Structure 1
Amino acid sequence: MRETYRASVAPHGESRNVRESQGVAKYVWDDYSLSPVELVDVVWQGVPDFREAYELPDGLFRSRVPAYEEAVARELVVNALVHRPYTQRGDVFLNLHPDRLEVVNAGRLPLGVTPRNILHASRRRNDGLARVFHDLKLMEREGSGFDLMYDRLLTSGRAAPVVSEGIDSVHVVIPRRVIHRGVIQLIADAEKRHNLTQRERIALGMLGQSEGMSAAELLSALELPNPAALRPWISRLVESGLVAQTGRTRATRYFVEPALIREAGLDDQTTLIRIQPHRLRALILEDLQRFPGSGRVDIHRRIGAEIHGKSIVRALNALIEEGVVSASGTKRWRTYQLATRHGQER
């Protein structure tokens, strides 16, 4: 069984190792003997798991993908030291689990910053300390730390970081496991051809790890306020042919071009997520011919659970308006069947 590492970091300190009986290796840096530059280096070098790597097939060769990106781990530690409230006691904890790294910092996020806008919001809590860390080249410019983490994680086939607030603490979790290794090749090829911006790499990474996302889903994932704010992230990807789209306004659905998906080896299984409206209509009519008097949940389950529920509702409502399908009952007891004339024709 893999050990779990728990590292406790004070603003300065030297490491000493304590191995507990529960299988937890504990490292402590709290004796104030190291400068911030030395502390970040010691934290990175002190835990063996940080320097592990996966070997992934790359043609005739194998490429190494680090278990944790050094830039991401360093940015997490530096952010925790710079943005913590120093009027409040408490250490920074790095909880290294077999499948993830969790950083726990005392205090809550700065006023105006929430887990839902942390990708874009920027508030300095300790101006002087932030300036010193920036001048020492320990951190990126203001407001770019989480952009960097999103970029590195998504382009390496991992999920985005997860931020949450406790009663009096902030938790940031980054995954270790590479979920979609084909995304690495997809973005590397796209970068060579089109010189993508950081925003475009993030958006392409999200789309590459999914079967496509609606405009509303992409707005939520990127923490954007309105569709207009989505254009700098997605418009050039569409223009260059990397991303295709169907539908209009908030019902627009974006997905990576199928040819690129196939080249990157992400075409594992065909699903109905991106089914066209006329094909969905035909599936619903076929289902109602076989199972008249069915509820929406049953129809959804039979024709494809991966199809978005709102797409099913829109298709059923359109069929009712056309007089092809009739409905009886209300709310959860509502059932659907083919209209009499249409059923006789079929």
Structure 2
Amino acid sequence: MSMITIDILKKLKESEDKVEFKKGEGGNISYDGGSKPKPSDRRRCILGYVTAFCNEGGGYLVIGMSDNYPHEVIGTKQNLGAVGELESKIYADTGIRPKLYELYENQKRVLVVEVPCRPAGKVFKFEDVALMRVGEELKPMSDEVYLKIIQEQEPDFSQQICEGLTISELDDRAIFLLKDKYSIKQNNPKFRLLPNEQILSDLELYKKGKLTNAALILLAKKEILQKRLPQSKVMLEFRNSESQIPFDNRIEFVEPFFLLIDDLWKTINIRNGSVPIQDGAYIFNISYFNEEVIRESVNNAITHRDYRRSSEIVIKQFPQRLDVINAGGFPVGVTLENLIKTPSTPRNRLLAEILQKTGIVERSGQGVDKIYFNTLSEGKAEPDYSKSDNFHVNLKLSAVIEDRAFALFIDQVQKELPENEKLSVLEIITLNNIKKNCPKKDLDSEQVSKLLDKKLIEKKGKTNAVFYILSKNYFDFTDEKAKYYNLQEIDDNQVLNTILSFLSKEEIAKMKDFVGLFEDKLSRRQVRFRVDKLVSNKILEQQGEGSTSIYKLSDDYIKQIEVLSEALHIGMKEMEKKQNPQNQMSKERPKKKE
């Protein structure tokens, strides 16, 4: 939806055109229902309308105009000077990302909240109730409508017919590349010689004399694509600093996919750098931006994006980070938690199938695997999808090599393993998590078992305090042997020394302090057992019972330490005497009188 105007708003009808008008002269429209006790009254607030409109396919909440037709401009002080804050707050509270803007007529201000359409299969709720508009009211969604929504399958936009598009409007160079890549991938040189109409038909881009949206996106001439589907463009923005908001340069790519993808990579690569990594006499370079990772990220954005939304794909390139943002959240069934494990169903299945058949991608749903595999294998931070939501996928890729040794180790392991045992993406993710000391509960038990079999990790601790570390080979390889021994199971002497060190500074401690000292090394039960033993041996003194107990060094133990310290001091003095008898004699001999 493009920004609406006051003239258009005046002619809209509330129920037919999905718009709600509120006067709100004094800026008194409630944000979240405030202190109103009745649920039906609480819903008639900004969050209630945003939720209902989103559920119904999008719409407008207009504050500062009368609800009588034709709608007169009244003017409002609603969220005056704080429109950006309101937009951010709505997103934080609902997960819906509206557009807010102010319109003016004769200096009278109108606030427009433009609500997007919900993703397929997704229902939004206000105070745990899915809302819909019924006349003037906001009412709980009927079971029938609710069930229909959550059972929705996303339509394949790429498979739909692009009415009026002709073969003459397709780019000859793009078709040539399609033929060439398909013939190489399928090992079928004769495919290049087939008429355009036949190859388009064979690939289901041309059905019953009509071209599909996939043909438009992959092959249409630049001017046709710009006219028919302007949101298919890719915007590449350069910034010299990650904190910078305005871009230093912006390039639009409006070409069909088969021409766009190579030009886009070449443009990104102009500003690419690399880091030399040395393994003995062998030196190799790791690029800031790995070509396969960037291509897969763009391929994913193009095949998974929602072309019904008006925003284009945006790539933000910084010196050492690159972001890829596309419209439409993760496909149905995919979340941040299962992103790697769940085979994704592309939102544009036909488009994805063409890229697979032409060798652009290996198989549908494998792109994220490659992104993780290459990024972690190069010792870089995990790809970051955490800023994604129901309306956008936001991928952040770091160019910084955080752990060169890990990159070299993975490279070495892969060279030594037989072809059928080489590390998978899930094994590399698990190795990386163990390197970062992730708790056992966050590790994939199946991958842990495989890594134990390959002797790439070791199991330490017992019962609830089991933990895993990278194998000794890793620490030998990285020349960090001391670190390996520091990660071993903790013994009673280490427990005692750690507790003594803590109490020498803090004097008293609670059980939770001791548990915190040995986090991931000992379970709470094991810590309690050792502390009780120190109490029974009169090293620690316990005051109080249960959760209110505090511990300190016992007076008897402090006296023992003082006696030992004094004995040690005397012993050191005696040793000095024996080692330096001449110095001692000269000190004891009286001086001659002058």
TM-score of the pair, normalised by structure 2: 0.47
Between the two proteins, what is the percent identity of the paired residues?
20
The correspondence of residues 1-346 of structure 1 with structure 2, limited to 5 A, is 11=232, 24-30=248-254, 34-48=255-269, 51-121=272-342, 122-164=344-386, 165-166=388-389, 168-195=391-418, 196-198=422-424, 199-207=426-434, 209-210=435-436, 212-219=437-444, 230-231=445-446, 233-248=447-462, 251-265=465-479, 274-287=488-501, 290=504, 292-295=507-510, 308=519, 311=522, 313-320=524-531, 322=533, 324=536, 326=542, 328=544, 335-337=550-552
Secondary structure at 2:335's aligned position in 1? Answer: coil
Conserved? CA contact 1:214–1:251, under 8 Å: no
Between the aligned partners of 2:509 and 2:237, the Cα distance in structure 1 is 65
1:58 shift after superposition: 3.0
Conserved? CA contact 2:238–2:247, under 8 Å: no
Q: Which residue of 2 aligns with 1:225?
A: none
Between the aligned partners of 2:308 and 2:281, the Cα distance in structure 1 is 56
Worse overlay, 272-281 or 185-194: 272-281
Secondary structure at 1:110's aligned position in 2? Answer: coil
Between the aligned partners of 1:35 and 1:296, the Cα distance in structure 2 is 65
1:150 shift after superposition: 1.2
1:313 shift after superposition: 4.1
Between the aligned partners of 2:527 and 2:304, the Cα distance in structure 1 is 51
CA separation of 1:100 and 1:15: change in aligned 2, threshold 3 A = closer
Task: Name the Cα RMSD after superposition.
Answer: 3.7
Given residue 529 of structure 2, which amino acid in structure 1 is its aligned partner? A
Between the aligned partners of 2:271 and 2:546, the Cα distance in structure 1 is 56
Conserved? CA contact 1:216–1:251, under 8 Å: no
Conserved? CA contact 1:294–1:335, under 8 Å: yes
Name which one, 1 or 2, has greater alpha-carbon Rg.
Answer: 2
Worse overlay, 333-342 or 157-166: 333-342
Between the aligned partners of 2:318 and 2:408, the Cα distance in structure 1 is 27
Q: Deviations over 1:24-53 (max 9, x none)?
A: 1211113xxx33222111110012456421
Worse overlay, 52-61 or 114-123: 52-61
Secondary structure at 1:104's aligned position in 2? Answer: strand
**Which runs of no fewer than 5 residues in structure 1 stay unpaired?**
1-8, 220-229
Conserved? CA contact 2:381–2:402, under 8 Å: yes
Given residue 508 of structure 2, which amino acid in structure 1 is its aligned partner? G
Paired residue total: 317
Conserved? CA contact 1:287–1:299, under 8 Å: no
Between the aligned partners of 1:237 and 1:18, the Cα distance in structure 2 is 41
Worse overlay, 273-282 or 180-189: 273-282
Between the aligned partners of 2:461 and 2:239, the Cα distance in structure 1 is 58
1:172 shift after superposition: 0.8
Between the aligned partners of 1:286 and 1:217, the Cα distance in structure 2 is 32
1:344 shift after superposition: 8.3
Q: Which residue of 1 aligns with 2:20?
A: none
CA separation of 1:77 and 1:268: change in aligned 2, threshold 3 A = farther
Conserved? CA contact 2:272–2:289, under 8 Å: yes
Q: Deviations over 1:146-172 (max 9, x none)?
A: 111111111111111111324632211
Between the aligned partners of 2:311 and 2:234, the Cα distance in structure 1 is 14
Q: Deviations over 1:232-259 (max 9, x none)?
A: x232321232211113566431211234
Conserved? CA contact 2:231–2:310, under 8 Å: no
Given residue 200 of structure 1, which amino acid in structure 2 is its aligned partner? E
Conserved? CA contact 2:510–2:551, under 8 Å: yes
Conserved? CA contact 2:239–2:318, under 8 Å: no
Conserved? CA contact 2:490–2:521, under 8 Å: no
Given residue 449 of structure 2, which amino acid in structure 1 is its aligned partner? S
Bigger strand fraction? 1
Secondary structure at 1:162's aligned position in 2? Answer: coil
Between the aligned partners of 1:93 and 1:46, the Cα distance in structure 2 is 14
1:91 shift after superposition: 0.6
The answer to which structure, 1 or 2, has the higher relative contact order (CA under 8 A, 6+ apart) is 1
CA separation of 1:13 and 1:281: change in aligned 2, threshold 3 A = closer
CA separation of 1:28 and 1:292: change in aligned 2, threshold 3 A = same
Conserved? CA contact 1:155–1:202, under 8 Å: no
Q: Deviations over 1:284-324 (max 9, x none)?
A: 443476454224576688x6xxx537847444322355454
Deviating above 6 A after TM superposition, structure 1's stretches of 4 or more consecutive aligned residues are 13-21, 339-346
